[in-house]
Amino acid sequence: MSYCFNPTCQNPENPPEVEICQSCNSPLLLTPSPNKQINKKIEEQDNAEIETNQIIPPSQKNTPTLINHSSYRPLKLIGQGGFGRTFLAVDEEHSLRKVCVIKQFFPQNTNYYQNYPPSSEKISGSGKLQVKTTSEKAVELFQQEAQQLKTLGSHPQIPKLFNYFQQDEQQYLVQEYIEGKNLAQELAEKGVFTEAKIRELLNDLLPVLQFVHKSQVIHRDIKPENIIRRTTGKLVLVDFGAAKLVEKRGLPQTGTIIGSAAYTAPEQLMGKAVFASDIYSLGVTCIHLLTQVPPFDLFDSRDGKWVWRDYLKTPVSGELGRILDKMLQNATNRRYHSATAIIRHLNPQSSHMETVYFSPSTVPKKSTQHAEIRRKLQGVLANESVKVQVSRVKKKLTVVISREANNKVNYSRLSQIIAAKLTDLRLQNIDRVKLLGKVQGKTVPEWQQILRMDKKTRWKNEIIRFKKSEHFMKLSELGTRDFWLARFHEREFWLDVLMFAFACFIFGNKIVIWYPQMALIIASAFIFVKHRMSKKNRLATNNLFATVATIFLIVGLLGERFWLANDFGLLLGCLFVALPIFYVREEI
């Protein structure tokens, strides 16, 4: 099917191969040609010196229009809004009939915008508040998106800009087609997101947001509809038409109120969007995906707080909850200021990153040789656009960080990340690490730092590792009230208590092996072996209890006390400890 570009066409659907619309006689193929009018409009904007929300940087304002030899055929309408329409199309001049997305903009059709109110902005040099029509604002937004996509499209998770042109007094933007479904569609089809999927979303999208903000751009319209999951599973951030270039000023300036109200930060609703505004919108997106409840219903206006936890079908961890709560703070000074900070909290490294600890007693694995160390360091620095080289001489490890000339890096922060990663690797026989920072192509380093072993940090890290271990987690449960309340309702718990008491009585009062205190060791070892055997096999617990109880009754009724301070006593104790092994039920 071919679809007519004419916005006033009454029957825009046409057969696949026709070139003229059968309803309105408009051409169905878009064939870009060099056009001076659109460049003239950009030059007129330069002369006007529009400051507020001006997205085109000074260095890019005179960039020529992107033109290529293409002929685009629209296949279907896939979206429309107040400023234009979006089509799925193919490039018929391309050998593979490349699929693309075309955004159409019609700035001079004022009747089309009669239902949309005008916007106002302050024009530099006039000193007065002038009113822009919605049509003029739409022209500016279209030119903004073209310039942004040209710059940001170098990122693999942002659509590439293929073409940008004007034809028949209408503007068109041709960009990469992202095959897949947006998160709103995914939510409708598959239901609420799990905590694991939200973590995956944040880990996938935050580096993209980090790149956008590093380019001094605020997206201003992050929502499920503008996040598309490729068929490969990778997320793509789309629709930069509402984005804004950040100017180097002290406080955010009041500009156009733009974005989707349900996902928009409070300061953005007042026309003062900042980088943290995108973080707020991403936070609202996450809680909507977790609950499948409209964002407005997740906020209690009476108490002035989010109540999204009340709508969860499955509770999330306290860690993720705290991260989302901080993303959703109304005040920007209490909200995350950068995507980098969220990434760190989402994937915490060692708690002590200021100095690095290497354990001289730990035997290194083969995976921690030079190439593997370099690979792991390069992995944690993947978002910093730097290259890492590693070398070792005796007990000194040298790490060289190379950056591109136009890429400024924070070496202090990089040293903390590297120190944390090396701490986790626990290398052998290293007493110091030398970090060098340099520009690619130059031999003289511009920065250096020495990391030495810190004994205090060493023990702190050992304590932290122990506290995070599985055994410590199980031991820590013993001190909780809930653990014991649950155990008191289990029959097996009381059988264990009785068998432990019987064993203590038998070997502490009647058959004493060396010392009465040995009874505690034998009883504890007996219970340990019983639990180990019951995890791997079916155990005849009732029969085992009957045997222990019988031994208890026999030695109790005899009334005599035996002291065994020889090998026989040791073997007798071992036999009792191994008793559960003989009560394993064989599977038939």
Per the document, the length of the chain is 588
β 99-105/170-176 pair status: antiparallel
How crowded is residue 346: how many other Cβ atoms within 10 Å of its Cβ? Answer: 15
Q: How confident is the model at residue 385 (pLDDT cuts 50, 70, 90)?
A: confident
- 64-68, 361-365, 500-504: the lowest-pLDDT one: 361-365
Q: Tell me: the pLDDT tens digits for 29-54?
A: 888 765 444 444 433 443 443 333 33
Please compute Rg for the chain using Cα positions: 34
More confident residue, 285 or 477: 285
Q: Tell me: the pLDDT tens digits for 195-218?
A: 999 999 999 999 999 999 988 888
The span from the CA of 74 to the CA of 104, in Å, is 11
The reply to whether 325 belongs to the active site is no
Q: Choose, from 91, 168, 204, 221, the residue flagged as catalytic.
A: 221
The token pair that represents 365 in the structure block: 């694995």
Amino acid 519: pLDDT: 92
Q: How far apart are the first and last CA of the chain?
A: 66
- Name the percent of the chain lying above pLDDT 70: 76
Residue 356 has pLDDT above 50, yes or no: no
The span from the CA of 440 to the CA of 402, in Å, is 5
Q: What is the mean pLDDT of the chain?
A: 78
- Name the percent of the chain lying above pLDDT 90: 28
What's the DSSP call for residue 373?
A: H
Amino acid 48: pLDDT: 40
Amino acid 586: pLDDT: 63
Amino acid 16: pLDDT: 83
Top mean pLDDT of 48-62, 339-353, 481-495 is at 481-495
Q: Tell me: the pLDDT tens digits for 562-588?
A: 888 888 888 999 999 999 999 887 654
The DSSP H or E segment spanning 502 is helix 491-505
| Domain architecture of the chain: domains with CATH | 26-176 (3.30.200.20), 180-346 (1.10.510.10), 366-468 (3.30.70.2960), 478-585 (no CATH)
The span from the CA of 317 to the CA of 314, in Å, is 10
The token pair that represents 113 in the structure block: 């915008």
Q: Tell me: the pLDDT tens digits for 3-38?
A: 998 888 889 999 888 889 988 988 888 887 654 444
Q: How confident is the model at residue 134 (pLDDT cuts 50, 70, 90)?
A: low
Of 303, 298, 268, 301, the C-alpha closest to 286 is: 298
